[in-house]
C-alpha cells in the first residue's frame, strides 16, 4: 500500500465511523441497542482517527527524508512507519465478513440490521438478501478469541464468509501459509496461501511460520467445527462445551 492510499484508507475509516455515530444519534433514545452501537462506533472511530494521524506523521517524515536524505531523517521515517503500523493493524479487525457475499468491485456483505446481546455476548446479523446469523463470542482471553457462527439457513450459490488479508512475500504478510484437513484424510495438507486453490475440508488453518515485517500482531486463524445442525461439531481434540438442550414448547 502506498502512502497516499494509506492516508486515504484511514480518512475513509474516520468518515465511515462518524457516519455510524450520526446514525446512532437519530435512533430512539430508549432503543436498547443504542449503547452498544455508540460504544462500537466510538471504538471504530478512535481506531481510524489514530490510524489517520499516524499516517499523516509518516507521510511528513517521508517528505522530510526525500527533501534531505540523511541517517537521521531515515531513522525518523522508519520510526514513524513502525508507529503507524500499530493502529492500522488494529483496524484490520473490521475486515471480516460473514453472510451472503456480494461482489461490487470488492466482496462485501449487506446488512439490514445488527444487534448485540451483552448477556450472551452474541451478535445477531440480519441480511438485506434475507436470512440471519448469530456470532457468539464463545471465548476471549490473551491467547485466543473463539467465535461460534450459526446461520438460520444454508447459503446457496456463493460463499458464506470471507477474510481479507495481505501477502507480498513469506516475510511480509498477514498470512503466508494455509493448511487444511480434508475429509477422510489422515493428516493436514499445507501450502503457500497464494498457490492454494480449493479444498473440501473439515478444518482450516491460516497463519505464518516465520516473523512478518508487515504486522507482527496478526493472529493465526482457524475455521472448524462445521455443522449442518444447530450445534457445532467439535474437533476430536476439543471436548464439547456443556450444552443445555432447549425444552420443547
Residue pair 147/137 in contact by the 8 Å Cβ criterion: yes
pLDDT score of 190: 92
pLDDT at 147: 86
**79 alpha carbon, distance to own chain's centre:** 26
| Tens-place pLDDT, residues 29-86 | 567 777 777 887 888 888 888 888 998 999 999 999 999 999 999 999 989 988 887 8
> 3-class DSSP state for residue 57?
helix
Parallel, antiparallel or unpaired: strands 145-151 and 132-140 = antiparallel
List the domain boundaries for the chain: 3-94, 99-163, 165-242
Per-residue burial over 120-151, b = 16 or more CB atoms within 10 Å of its CB, e = otherwise: eebbbbebeeebbbebbeeeeeeeeeeeebeb
Pick the closest to residue 137 from 165, 117, 111 (CA basis): 117
For the record, the C-alpha cell of 207 comes out as 497463519
Q: What is the pLDDT of residue 76?
A: 92
The residues of the chain scoring below 70 in pLDDT are 1-30, 92-107, 214-217, 230-232, 234-249
What element of type H or E holds 225?
A: none
Residue-level pLDDT at 104: 61
Separation between Cα atoms, residue 110 and residue 97, nearest integer Å: 10
C-alpha cell at 137: 463470542
Amino acid at each position: 500500500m502506498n502512502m497516499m492510499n494509506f492516508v486515504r484508507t484511514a480518512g475513509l475509516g474516520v468518515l465511515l465511523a462518524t457516519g455510524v455515530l450520526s446514525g446512532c444519534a437519530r435512533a430512539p433514545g430508549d432503543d436498547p441497542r443504542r449503547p452498544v452501537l455508540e460504544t462500537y462506533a466510538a471504538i471504530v472511530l478512535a481506531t481510524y482517527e489514530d490510524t489517520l494521524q499516524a499516517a499523516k506523521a509518516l507521510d511528513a517524515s517521508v517528505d522530510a527524508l526525500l527533501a534531505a536524505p540523511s541517517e537521521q531523517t531515515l531513522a525518523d521515517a522508519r520510526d514513524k512507519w513502525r508507529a503507524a503500523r500499530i493502529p492500522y493493524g488494529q483496524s484490520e479487525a473490521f475486515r471480516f465478513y460473514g453472510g451472503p457475499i456480494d461482489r461490487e468491485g470488492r466482496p462485501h456483505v449487506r446488512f439490514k440490521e445488527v444487534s448485540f446481546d451483552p448477556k450472551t455476548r452474541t451478535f445477531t446479523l440480519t441480511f438485506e438478501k434475507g436470512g440471519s446469523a448469530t456470532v457468539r463470542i464463545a471465548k476471549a482471553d490473551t491467547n485466543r478469541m473463539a467465535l461460534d457462527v450459526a446461520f438460520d439457513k444454508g447459503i446457496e450459490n456463493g460463499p458464506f464468509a470471507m477474510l481479507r488479508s495481505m501477502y507480498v512475500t513469506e516475510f511480509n504478510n498477514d498470512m503466508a501459509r494455509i493448511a487444511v484437513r480434508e475429509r477422510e484424510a489422515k493428516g493436514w495438507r499445507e501450502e503457500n496461501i497464494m498457490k492454494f486453490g480449493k479444498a473440501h475440508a473439515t478444518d482450516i488453518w491460516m497463519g505464518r511460520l516465520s516473523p512478518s515485517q508487515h504486522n507482527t500482531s496478526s493472529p493465526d486463524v482457524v475455521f472448524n467445527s462445521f455443522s449442518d445442525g444447530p450445534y457445532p461439531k467439535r474437533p476430536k481434540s476439543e471436548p464439547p462445551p456443556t450444552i443445555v438442550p432447549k425444552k420443547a414448547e
